[in-house]
Structure 1
Amino acid sequence: MQTQQQITKNGLLPTPPRPKDLPKVELTENARQVLIRRYVRRGDDGKPCESVEDMFWRVAYHVARVEEQWDSDVMSRAREFYILLTSKKFFPNSPTFTGAGTPLGQLAACFVLPINDDMGRDASGIFQTLRDAALIQQTGGGNGFSFSRLRPKGSMVKSSAGQATGPVGFLRVYDHAFGEIAQGGTRRGANMAVLRVDHPDVEEFITCKTDENAITNFNISVGITDDFMRAVENDEEWELRFPDVHSPLYRQVKGTLEQLVEAGVPLVTYKKVRARDLFDKIVRQAHHNGEPGVLFLDAANRSNPVPHLYPLEATNPCGEQWLGPYENCCLGSVNLAQHFAPDGKVDWEALRQSVVTATRFLDDVVEANQYVPAVPQLKEAAHRARRIGLGIMGLADLMYHCGVRYGSPEGQEFAAQVMEFVRYHAMITSVEMAKERGPFPAIKGSIYDSENMRWSPPRPLFPYERDWGRPAVDWDWLVDQIRIHGIRNAAQTTIAPTGTIATVAGCEGYGCEPAFALAYIRHVNDNGKDLQLTYASPQFEQALIKAGIEPEKRQEIIEQVMLEGSCQRVESVPEEIKRVFVVSGDITAEEHVRMQAAMQAFVDNSLSKTINFPEGATVEDVAIAYHLAWKLGCKGITVYVTGSREKVVLETLSTAKKKQAGSEEEKPQPALAEKVEDQLTIWHETKKPRPRYLTGFTYSIDTPLGKAFITVNENGGSQPFEVFINTAKAGSDTAAVSEAIGRLLSYILRLASPIEPARRLREAANQLLGIGGGRSLGFGPNRVRSLPDGVGQILDEYLQIRAERLVSQQDKANKEPAAPGNGHRSAAEKGDTPPVGQKLLRFGDLCPECGEAAVINEEGCRKCYACGYSEC
């Protein structure tokens, strides 16, 4: 380990040595590797310049250090934070891990920036905001924008006598710019674009991501109003309108449509549409590929804690954090999987303590954050309202432990009771901090203003009927405390995506989501060697053991569960275990929505959750979910139909016509007709992304054009992924032909296709074998007729050896005894690839890091269940 002086030179601020009596963190090897890869700081030589424990101490100390201004014992608080973090009971968002104790010091993940209808004069004009957003993305933050203030496409621009570009045009400008910026030096920027449902360009916006290779750096959401949903219910016309840009007041007043109207700016109606047709277009596009999402503007503004400052227009990239102009929020999640009590109970007292300490931690982050000095409005906005976003992860783990089925009425009440408890104690702690440090500066005029108190305690959607031993809460007492002392944080709770931190914490369920699968292949980096471990839910295995199922039978059950991730169709699993151990695909869309709504009642901001639909779900199913989410008070909804993106590739024009023929009137409906046209040109990504590292096999063969070296690289599932061919010297015609053949083979292997890569390579080899040239080399079975023939022979040899290798591994795996109760299989522990004949759980897109088809849409984000990669 390097010295403190060297570490400081390598980009870390001075940090006192970690006290020797502090505990080490217990992590799986996979979690430790993820931490090292993502969060541990590196020196100029690219090597880690701190240990995992030192990383936790760095974060704890530099967050606690701000308490000097309140005369707190900094070292004592730092120890408290360190123990909270290393116990895995709470983790903050990723930028806090990467930024604390560094000169950069930017600790927030979520930002919202305003975009006004101005090209250069306004501080929040189109290109000034683009500049601010770029600076934020360089620090690791994600941005949300409402494009609703931009005038419609084609409208007259008086100053230039030209026509306006429109929101979608500028969205494309932003997307292109962000495509060139690496977020935090490690990943592309995450962004959210929002457009109101009454904007004249909303129809273009809804379909702007029909081509999934366009606008790749943004999630998009339509801002829905209550008036629109009522118009849909009543089958009314809907006006697409915008303020009169030629009105003298238009330039004088900056704000939302409602603010402009209130100021006297007249509205111009550009078009009238049938509300149901517009709603249908949104739903069909979401059914098609998961976008756009929907944000319920009025629901968000009903609980806006500072309506005197601004109306809420947009959220952060994953949709869970509503923010005003220039506002940002530091998020963190309490790990419910670390709050088990014996006998299937919840350790409520430990949970209370974690919430108290985590709330203090996040308020200190507001103070410790350096924000982005070049955008001073960010710090001003953060200190004005002092928003924090405390949420949860591991809800599914806790429900498994307590024997509660996710999605059931019992599960909805359980989730509500847990979130109510978290919110209640977060607010008590915020009041206590208001006594010590003062309330948030903008409290006057807010819903917490003691002279005009408009905040009322949250209530469950339905009366509680069950008792999980939770201590009582007294909301009336808390109201009195807020009146007397105020409150430190204008908003306290948010349920955020927990991609990387949940992987490190070892949660089975990310955030508030159900577990996605009970068993799957997980990749572990063992000193640079990629090991593939058959992961099975420890709680599921313990339940099987408790049910008296013998080891051999348990192994058989796990292998069956591996096929699809669920235990519901495995006959030998006891019914009580099936009832409790559900995964995302076992839960109906309605149950998903009701779970979201039950928690939303006790989250003053919002939550990241994806409503996963099974394959075969209809457009009507999605529409019903949207209506239900609005009725139940959700602030937004994101849907994803399993396999929907792949189905676009496979669905033919004739299939679409059959769907049309099955309609009630047996004639094409406008929205469906548009989709039919889309299907002629839409394809899932042109090729799969290349993982960071791959294993491969290199062969050599003499050809009429000289010796050729042919490398076949495989992805994590032992499938061929790419081919490299090297012959002769660079720059020669032979080298060019070799490279061309390799590129085409690699492209064929990486195309999205229902045909497995090995079969594709077999067909390619068959096409190359036997091609003759001007001369041959060798005789009999060793004869090589041309360079393509030589390549074909090597591919044929590779495929034969691959098949033998997989059969050998299958035989070996069949002879190996099962490793009892630890969720891993012994053959996999030795680094073997999965045996032939055992279907891996292929439930998603290819991961750019490990190559497994395990990247799924969850929490409004995309993450890999195989290696822990996350876009969040």
Structure 2
Amino acid sequence: MSITIGEKRTLNVESLNEDIKLFPPVHPITPDMKLTHKGVSRLVMLDRYTFKDTEKITLSNGDFVVLTIKEDPKFPARGLGFIQAIDWENKTATVLVEEEFRGVLDDPDESTTGIIKRSLDVMEKPLELFYEQIAKRNATGLAAVEKTEQKRKEWFEKFYQELVSMNFIPAGRVLYGAGAGTDVTYFNCYVMPFVKDSREGISEHRKQVMEIMSRGGGVGTNGSTLRPRNTLARGVNGKSSGSVSWLDDIAKLTHLVEQGGSRRGAQMIMLADWHPDIVEFIISKMQNPKILRFLIENTNDESIKKTAKEKLKFTPLTIQEEAMYQGIVNYKSIPGYGGFSADIIRSAEEKLATGGTYTVHNSEFLTGANISVTLTKDFMDAVENNAEYELRFPDVESYDAETMKVYNEEWHKIGDVREWEKLGYKVRTYRKIKAKELWNLVNICATYSAEPGIFFIDNANDMTNAQAYGQKVVATNPCGRAA
């Protein structure tokens, strides 16, 4: 028996089923199987959700593989293809990439022929080529909790019929993990408790985020409990580097932890509108120098100007560059611009007018996460009333030892400066800002960099049924914010 996949290439089913026998969780291919999906859905199924021979113990010439066809540190491209030859000594293989995936190949010969040579480390052999195989594995795993063989068979059949008919499609982590015998999470996304405001608390939070992502889950974090930049840290007789710098450290885990060998994790990081670091947080991911200059020139708030200036990097023209751009501009008076386009001449004029090139500092800052601002009703009322808004945080600098002990034990459970103040603890107002200035900053940055998103946290807590269980909304996972 053979099946046709990809570009009318055939795969020997008997041979593949022999390989499958070495992997107990995988169900063999049978003649009635037909669901393979198409396009991106097919690639996602084979790359993310199928059981694979990751150790390559059955890999041989002619095998169908999923692999990284374009290696990029941030955005690797995956594709499908067939093994043409394997060099076991050098741990590489020559692969014929399916035609629909060749568009991302930079090398002209590779993109034309589809023949590429890649490390074995970036390719895997999927053993489940049909959705029915995944459905059988999932049904087996879900029915495994039953105590008798008869019940396991009964519930396997019930689960399988619902899955294979697509009346019910589990989340991706269930598709990947159920019945596979692997130590992965069955939950797609998690929301973490507030971060405890200490080095130990941050380290523990970071550890848990790493563990969740390594098992395939996405993570949401609210960093509003971390003390602001330059706030006194008495224990080390120094000052805090601020919430945003610590949140960047947590976000970097996304780039470090691979999930299933092919995907990066996903994080959502949030900060409250009342937090004194909120301006730095909002601007932190702005990569457009023109927008930073626009902010500097069009805001009346000095902290926004200062933060935008700190993000903006200016490199003056060298003498040689200035001469080159002036030479280009000189062609402006010549018919046809001496072969230069009008856009090139305008760009040269702009470079001369500004005297250099604007870029941004820390272009990779917080890129491991999406970011959102948690918006309160108090803030939105201040926007509507064109009022000032206080940026506040517990006044840890003035706390005595007893109060500091309470802060260390309780603040991360509260996570809201308004509630903390109601409990009778002193709160410091770091400064005031016109609410509309902050609101405009959110909108400008979101418009031109798609960050930050917004999350109406008071509304979420008013409407959540979690309150019935004595809980509250802290943040959302990456799927739950408004972009």
Above 0.5 in TM-score? yes
1:193 and 2:203 matched = no
Q: CA deviation at 1:259?
A: 4.3
For residues 8-47 of structure 1, the aligned pairs below 5 Å read 8=24, 12=25, 24-30=33-39, 31-43=41-53, 44-45=55-56, 46-47=124-125
Is 1:244–1:250's contact at 8 Å kept on the other side of the alignment?
A: no
SS at the partner of 1:24? coil
Residue of structure 1 equivalent to 2:163: 85
SS of aligned partner of 2:221: strand
Question: Residue 148 of structure 1 aligns to which amino acid in structure 2?
Answer: S
Structure 1 segment 458-607 matched on structure 2, within 5 A: none
Q: Which residue of 2 aligns with 1:313?
A: 474
Alpha-carbon distance in 1 for matches of 2:470, 2:206: 23
* Counterpart residue type for residue 51 of structure 2: R
Q: How does 1:708-747 map to 2 (within 5 A)?
A: none
Task: Supply the AA of the counterpart residue of 1:185.
Answer: G
Shift of 1:181: 1.8
Matched with 1:56 is 135
Deviation at 1:126, TM superposition (A): 0.4
**Correspondence for 2:370:** 219
Q: List runs of 5+ in structure 2 lacking aligned partners.
A: 1-16, 57-123, 288-362
Cα contact 1:111–1:141 (8 A) shared by 2 = yes
Q: Name the residue aligned to 1:275.
A: 435
SS of the residue corresponding to residue 294 of structure 1 reads strand
**Could you tell me which residue of structure 1 aligns to residue 198 of structure 2?**
118
User: Contact conserved, 1:2 with 1:49, CA < 8 A, in 2?
Assistant: no
Query: Given the alignment of the two structures, is residue 129 of structure 1 paired with residue 205 of structure 2, yes or no?
Result: yes
C-alpha offsets along residues 157-183 of structure 1, whole Å, 9 cap, x if unaligned? 011111011111112212333322213
Question: What is the CA-CA distance between 1:25 and the residue it aligns to?
Answer: 4.6
8 Å CA contact 1:144–1:192 kept in 2: the answer is yes
| Equivalent pair of 1:113/1:145 in contact (CA under 8 Å) | yes
Distance in 2 (CA, whole Å) between partners of 1:139 and 1:73 is: 30
CA contact (8 A) 2:219 2:266 kept: yes
How far is 1:225 from its partner?
0.7
CA contact (8 A) 2:191 2:474 kept: no
**Contact 1:304–1:312 at 8 Å: present in 2 too?**
yes
Amino acid at match of 1:310: Q
Q: Distance in 2 between matches of 1:98 and 1:92?
A: 10
Percent of aligned pairs with the same amino acid: 32
C-alpha offsets along residues 310-369 of structure 1, whole Å, 9 cap, x if unaligned?
Answer: 321211112x2xxxxxxxxxxxxxxxxxxxxxxxxxxxxxxxxxxxxxxxxxxxxxxxxx
> Are 1:6 and 2:45 counterparts?
no
Aligned residue runs from structure 1 range 121-200, under 5 A: 125-200=201-276
In the TM superposition, what whole-angstrom CA distance separates every residue of 1:256-277 from its partner, at most 9, and x where no partner exists? 1244334322211101111111
Partner of 1:251: 408
1:376-391 superposed matches below 5 A: none
DSSP 3-state at the match of 1:92 = coil
Match of 1:98 in 2: 176
CA 1:261/1:250 → structure 2, altered by over 3 Å: closer, same or farther?
Answer: same
* Cα deviation code 1:775-832 (max 9, x no counterpart): xxxxxxxxxxxxxxxxxxxxxxxxxxxxxxxxxxxxxxxxxxxxxxxxxxxxxxxxxx
Letter of the structure 2 residue corresponding to residue 177 of structure 1: L
1:260 matched to 2:105:
no
- Consecutive unaligned residues of structure 1, counting only runs of 5 or more, are 321-635, 639-872
Q: Is the 2:29–2:133 contact (alpha carbons within 8 Å) kept by the matching residues of 1?
A: no
Superposed displacement of residue 197, structure 1: 0.3
SS of the residue aligned with 1:106? Answer: coil
Conserved 8 A contact 2:272-2:374: yes
Q: Is the 8 A contact 1:154 1:163 kept in 2?
A: yes
Kindly indicate whether the alpha-carbon contact (under 8 Å) linking 2:466 and 2:473 is maintained by their aligned counterparts in 1: no
TM-score by length of 2: 0.60
State the alpha-carbon separation in 2 of the partners of residues 64 and 105 from structure 1. Answer: 18
TM-score by length of 1: 0.34
Provide Cα deviations, 1:174-217, integer angstroms capped at 9, x if missing partner. Answer: 23333222133222221011000000110110111002643221
CA distance in structure 1 between the partners assigned to 2:270 and 2:43 by the alignment:
36
Equivalent residue letter for 1:35: M
DSSP-derived class of the 1:277 partner: helix
Q: Work out the CA distance in 2 between the residues paired with 1:291 and 1:205.
A: 10
Query: Helix, strand or coil for the counterpart of 1:116?
Result: coil
Contact 2:50 2:176 in 1 (8 A): yes
The alignment yields a C-alpha RMSD, in angstroms, of 2.5
Partners of 1:27 and 1:20 lie apart in 2 by 13
Q: Which of 231, 239, 242 is equivalent to 2:393?
A: 242
User: Within 2, Cα distance between the matches of 1:25 and 1:305?
Assistant: 42
Shift in CA distance, 7/233, structure 1 to aligned 2, threshold 3 Å:
same
The aligned residue for residue 739 of structure 1 is none
- 2:376 maps to a residue whose letter is T
Within 2, Cα distance between the matches of 1:268 and 1:39?
Answer: 50
Compute the displacement of 1:50 (Å): 3.5
Deviation at residue 59 of structure 1 after TM alignment: 1.1
Given that residues 461 and 472 in structure 2 are in contact (C-alpha distance below 8 angstroms), is that contact kept between their aligned partners in structure 1?
yes
Q: Contact 1:188–1:217 at 8 Å: present in 2 too? A: no
Q: 1:213 to 1:65 in 2, by over 3 A?
A: same
Cα distance between partner residues in 2 of 1:253 and 1:38: 40
SS in 2 for 1:91: coil
Whole-Å separation in 1 of the counterparts to 2:38 and 2:247: 42
Alignment partners' CA distance in 1, 2:383 and 2:133: 56
Alpha carbons 1:231, 1:275 under 8 Å: kept? yes
* Aligned-pair CA distance for 1:27: 4.2
The separation in 2 between residues aligned to 1:171 and 1:54, in whole angstroms, is 41
2:381 to 191, 212, 230: 230
Distance 1:292 1:34, change over 3 A: closer
Does residue 303 (structure 1) correspond to residue 463 (structure 2)? The answer is yes
SS at match of 1:108: coil
Provide the C-alpha distance between the structure 2 equivalents of 1:259 and 1:298, rounded to a whole number of angstroms.
12
Q: Which residue of 2 aligns with 1:210?
A: 286
The alignment partner of 2:145 has SS state of helix
Q: Distance in 1 between matches of 2:410 and 2:389?
A: 26
Seen in structure 2, the aligned counterparts of structure 1 residues 186 and 274 have a Cα distance that, compared at 3 Å, is same
Q: 1:180 to 1:166 in 2, by over 3 A?
A: same
Counterpart of 2:447 (choices 284, 287, 291) is 287
- How many residues align structurally? 310
Aligned-pair CA distance for 1:29 = 4.2
Matches of 1:28 and 1:97 in 2, distance apart? 15
Structure 2 counterpart SS, 1:77: helix
Shift of 1:26: 3.5
Per the alignment, in what secondary structure is the counterpart of residue 408 of structure 2?
helix
- 2:482 matched residue in structure 1: 637
Contact 2:274-2:391 at 8 Å conserved across structures: yes
Over 3 Å counting, the alpha-carbon distance change for 1:84 and 1:19 in structure 2 is: farther
Q: Secondary structure at the match of 1:159?
A: helix
Corresponding residue for residue 805 of structure 1: none
